[in-house]
Structure 1
Amino acid sequence: MKETLNNSSKAGSRIMNFISNIFYAAAASTIICALFLASLLAYAVKINAGLPEISEIKNMSARGGIALAYSEMPEFLSKILVCAFDPAYFSHKGVTADNVKSGVLKIYKGIDIEFCDKTITQNLAVVALNSKNAAVTGKTLPARAAAYLKESLLAYKIESKIRSKDKILEIFLNNAPFGDGINGLLQASVVYFNKKPADLSEAECLTLAAILKSRPNLSGDAGVKELEKEREKIISTIVERGLIDSEKAAGYKFSDFELNSYQSRINKLIEENCILIRL
């Protein structure tokens, strides 16, 4: 009987020790997590303090100082960007769970985060940070993570302060990089098609969307082929998502770039210090 009681006492003691160990481990884990979150929050606050002001972003315009109103931009181009690259644009607050998941995974694997891995607002944040020389640079994992965090915080800030989605698209398209040092929709329209943005055809809008996404080097055949491939991907996506039907997609006619003329217009743009006169 006495031996049975001793065994029961030992078993009870072991159970209590086990419970105590679990409790202390849980408490330690909670403290570590709290410290980590506090550090992360402090870092986020520090980054947020160094972000561009919203007033600066609102006043951004492409080099040359000419900014188009949203009403002067082709509606179809905006529809392509939203449908193909950011279908949750009109409901998210700057970032989405899918974008963050994709971005974090690519950062961890050391893979470049592409245009389509970010929301339109995140891409505007990238442009704003670069224009203010406030972007975090570096290829290390901490540097890439810091850059992504900064872009995401600024995207959220933009959405919180600029409540018009059309305005965000307007600012983005007025400053978006269209490859070869061409910034903004006006410059891209003039350089690539010698047209005002409002006069762009749907096929030309598709081409600009492909350039914006992949920014190929169009000075050679390889770049043009890359552009064509990207454009086909976009067409496939917007057909699948219902923006256009397959019959309309099959009817688009795309003109080949006149590379010599195109390059000469870029050279002229550079010589004139990227100053454009409104057409």
Structure 2
Amino acid sequence: MRRRLMAAALIAAFLAAGALVGAHWLDAAIDARVADLAEPETGVTVTARDGELLRAFADDDGRWRLDIGTGDVDPRYVKILTAWEDQRFASHGGVDGRAVLRAVWQSIRHGRIVSGGSTLTMQVARMQKRLPTGSFASKGEQVLGALALERERSKDEILGLYLKLAPYGGNIEGIRAASLAWLGKEPRRLTVAEAALLVALPQAPERLRPDLHADRAERARNRVIARMQDLGILSEAEARRGMAEPIPRRRRDLPMLAAHATERLHRGDPKARKLHLTLDAKLQQRLEDYARARAAAMIAPLSLAILVTDHRTGEILASIGSPDVFDAKRQGYVDLTRALRSPGSTLKPLIFGLAFERGVAHPESLVDDRPTAFAGYTPQNFDHTFEGLITARRALQLSRNLPAVELLAATGPSRLVQRMRRAGATPELGSRTIPGLAIGLGGLGLTLEDLVAIYGGIANGGMAKPLRIDAGTAAILGARPAARVLSEQAAWYVTSILAGATTTVKGSPGTIAHKTGTSFGYRDAWSIGYDGEHVVGIWLGRPDGAPVAGLVGQDAAVPVMRDVFARIGPAVRLPGPPPGILAAAGRNLPPPLRIVGASAARPGGGPAPEIVFPPNAAHVELGLAEGATADLSLKVRNGAPPFTWYVDGAPVVQGQFDRQASWHAREPGFIDISVVDSAGAAASSRVFVD
């Protein structure tokens, strides 16, 4: 008896030791696999301002696998999945004992693995390691991997891994890519039939591919639906409707909106897995559809580009670099929103705005539209006709070249370039270090983005918000501050003119202000317009820069601009005037602003006033270093006191009986000085101070 007890004790001790060793080995094996756990690599996703997918990029292995969480999937799909694949998923520890015993018994009876008894956790372990099916060794590795997952991950995280890794045929992995490829929609809202199909496909993804084996896919889907009816998850009516729904028979392309912008941003930050943009996905889609339809009516290689921004924030809402990125005839791969082109007449609003700001002119000032030479530069009007004396308002509305060059000469080409750069534009001047008057008529290179940024500044009351397409926090925090390109009053004068107002009025000038441009040789047609919220920029031409006979901004680009505004929605009315607007015309204007560049004749007898200092065309050195200021002496002879002195159209000294005065200069550059005596006679000079 004692011997039997000793033997039993030895056997128990041996079994206990074996169990202890086995438990230690199992624990070590699980720990080793826990250390080996890693998140699956997913492709890059680019989303719009509302989170809608604009574009996805495959992962480095060419697989379409997109990031997704359990909260991004229709709850009904999750319910059907767990009921079909793993009813005790919420309660087991990674391995379902009952399912394993059933699978072992079936394997013994048939001499091979008939059903794996795999839980969702075991399937995730197999997918992570890409283990084969149908072998005992693989099954053992799945068990260890499942135990490791359950030790390290929550149930929600394990389900999330399944949603990313499940195979759906070809190079499609994960429910998000599958839903987009087979159903053309995100998996947030699925019908019964769609949810059942996405549950069935991972069982045999190649054998059940809907584009290759639609009948098999339908039968597999219907088996899932029937099982859900048996379990009481679906009603008879729901099951009947689900089985009647047609199976998708083709694989769809994943979204690829804003192809040029998304590609550029992805290349700029290839490590980022998620990019969030300011684009409006629905507007982008509408305008891309429109651009393709519009291009189809144009003879290749003629192409177009469209840019829409919110001038209040600088956010880009839609960006179309070409009608079709795959259109080789139109060089669709070129992003024409960023191509350097001659802007034609599109800079005239900024030129006139500078003249208004600096007091050189007023919208109701008379300007001379007659043949004039500017130090050897002899510009012509587009139609080779001349209007004579017309108001500055009318000159800009008619896009007359001679008045624009006259005003540019008065304000300075360098100042024009400086204001463009303030708006965020990067003008290309070629080999010229000092810009000349020709830049006012298109003699430089700008992009559509540059012009939209400039017009955005004018539309936003003279304050240019830097254009921005990246909605990420780093991009927002690192954005340049807004910069003033025109005074608020000058910007509103320009807006009232471009909106078609016939005079300087007190109310809103209308809904849309716009300007056209046509580059030399009919190479580029432009139309830039804005309302109280949006700026729309349109370019048409050939991507290779070759001439296109008859390509004119007014005829080619304006209709596109109006169509784009119609697709944005109701136009937002332009604002009314800011304080400080001078609503006057004719003789009610200050004398220096009545006729630009002309001196008023003195009524009656006696000599008219003359400016003794500074004389016209003088270069006066005042020592205006960075931030420094200085006084400029002003001297007049002849004329009848008291005198009123103007600098850049603004009165600086009034009721002065002395023939000498001074003005405090704050920055270097050209200034226009006028003096008016008591009889209204005037003299003027233009000088450069530094």
Normalised by the length of structure 1, the TM-score is 0.68
How big is the shift at 1:91?
Answer: 1.9
* Cα-to-partner distance string for 1:91-136 (whole Å, 9 max, x where unaligned): 222222112213434555322545xx32111111111222xxxx4x
* Change in 2 beyond 3 A, CA 1:54/1:128: same
**1:213 Cα offset (Å):** 2.6
1:160 equivalent to 2:151? Answer yes
Counterpart of 2:173 in structure 1 is 183
1:227 maps to 2:229: no
- What is the deviation of 1:188? 0.8
Give the corresponding residue for 1:203. Answer: 193
Structure-2 residue corresponding to 1:78: 78
**Greater helix proportion:** 1
- In structure 2, the CA distance between the partners of 1:104 and 1:28, relative to structure 1 (3 Å rule), is farther
1:164-202 Cα offsets, whole Å, 9 max, x none, are x33322221111112333211122112212222224322
Q: Which has the larger radius of gyration?
A: 2
Match of residue 113 from structure 2: 111
Q: Distance in 1 between matches of 2:236 and 2:41?
A: 38
- How far, CA to CA, are the matches of 1:152 and 1:86 in structure 2? 15
- Structure 2: distance between partners of 1:219 and 1:230: 11
In 2, Cα distance between equivalents of 1:183 and 1:206:
17
Query: Conserved in 1, the CA contact under 8 Å of 2:30 and 2:144?
Result: yes
Deviations 1:138-172 (A, max 9, x none): 966xxx1x432332233233223323x33322221
- The answer to whether 1:248 aligns with 2:238 is yes
Structure 1 residue 54 displacement after superposition: 7.5
1:110 corresponds to which letter in structure 2?
R
Tell me how far apart the structure 1 counterparts of residues 133 and 70 of structure 2 sit (CA, whole Å).
Answer: 35
User: What residue in structure 2 maps to residue 96 of structure 1?
Assistant: 96
Answer yes or no: is 1:169 the counterpart of 2:159. Answer: yes
What is the RMSD of the two structures over their aligned residues, measured on CA atoms? Answer: 3.6
Gaps of 5+ in 2: 44-57, 60-64, 255-272, 282-690
Of 7, 12, 19, which aligns to 1:37? 19
How far the C-alpha of 1:206 sits from its partner, in A, is 0.8
Indicate how the Cα distance of structure 1 residues 182 and 102 shifts in structure 2: closer, same or farther if over 3 A, else same: farther
- 3-state SS of 1:177 partner: coil
- Which 10-residue stretch deviates more, 170-179 or 28-37? 28-37
Does structure 1 conserve the Cα–Cα contact (< 8 Å) formed by 2:94 and 2:147?
A: yes
C-alpha contact (below 8 Å) 1:239/1:245 kept by paired residues? yes
Instruction: Classify 1:118/1:219 alpha carbon distance in 2 versus 1 (closer, same or farther; 3 Å).
Output: closer
How far apart are the structure 1 equivalents of 2:114 and 2:171?
A: 20
The answer to whether structure 1 residue 56 and structure 2 residue 38 are counterparts is: yes
CA distance in 2, matches of 1:37, 1:151: 22
Q: Percent identity?
A: 21
Q: Distance in 2 between matches of 1:221 and 1:182?
A: 13
In 2, Cα distance between the equivalents of 1:195 and 1:222?
A: 20
2:122 aligned partner: 122
Cα deviation for residue 209 of structure 1 reads 0.8
Higher strand share: 2
Of 40-49 and 205-214, the range deviating more from structure 2: 40-49
Query: Is the deviation greater in 149-158 or in 218-227?
Result: 218-227
Aligned counterparts of 1:189 and 1:238: Cα–Cα separation in 2: 20
1:249 Cα deviation from its structure 2 partner: 0.8
Q: CA deviation at 1:235?
A: 1.5
CA gap 1:139/1:155 in 2 versus in 1, 3 angstroms: closer
Looking at structure 2, the residues matched to 48 and 75 of structure 1 have their Cα atoms a distance apart, in angstroms, of: 32
Asked if the contact 2:229–2:239 (Cα under 8 Å) also holds between the matched residues in 1, the reply is yes
Q: Within 1, Cα distance between the matches of 2:196 and 2:156?
A: 19
Which amino acid in the other structure matches residue 37 of structure 1? A
Distance 1:194 1:215, change over 3 A: same
Question: For residues 139 and 250 of structure 1, what CA distance do their matches in structure 2 show?
Answer: 35
For 2:205 and 2:82, locate their aligned partners in 1 and report how far apart those are by CA, in whole Å. 18
Q: Sort the Cα spacing of 1:138 and 1:208 in 2 relative to 1 into closer, same or farther, 3 A.
A: closer
Match of residue 47 from structure 1:
29
Residues 222 and 128 of structure 1, relative CA distance in 2, 3 Å threshold: closer
Cα distance, 1:25 vs. partner?
Answer: 6.6
Amino acid at match of 2:232: G
CA distance in 1, matches of 2:166, 2:207: 16
Change (3 A) 1:231 1:218: closer
Which residue of structure 1 aligns with residue 139 of structure 2? 148
Q: Which amino acid aligns with 2:23?
A: L
- 1:182 is matched by which residue type in structure 2? I
Do the aligned residues in 2 keep the contact of 1:54 with 1:161 (CA within 8 Å)?
Answer: no
Q: Which has the higher relative contact order, 1 or 2, with Cα contacts under 8 A spaced 6 or more apart?
A: 1
The answer for the alignment partner of 1:215 in structure 2 is 205
Q: What is the aligned residue count?
A: 237
Cα deviation, residue 37, structure 1: 3.5
Query: 1:226 corresponds to which letter in structure 2?
Result: R
Distance 1:207 1:35 in 2: 50
- Contact in 1 for aligned 2:218/2:247 (Cα 8 Å): no
Between 1:102-111 and 1:73-82, the stretch displaced more is 102-111
Cα shift at 1:212 = 1.9
With over 3 angstroms needed to count, the CA separation of the structure-2 counterparts of 1:234 and 1:248, relative to structure 1, is same
Q: Distance in 2 between matches of 1:138 and 1:54?
A: 21
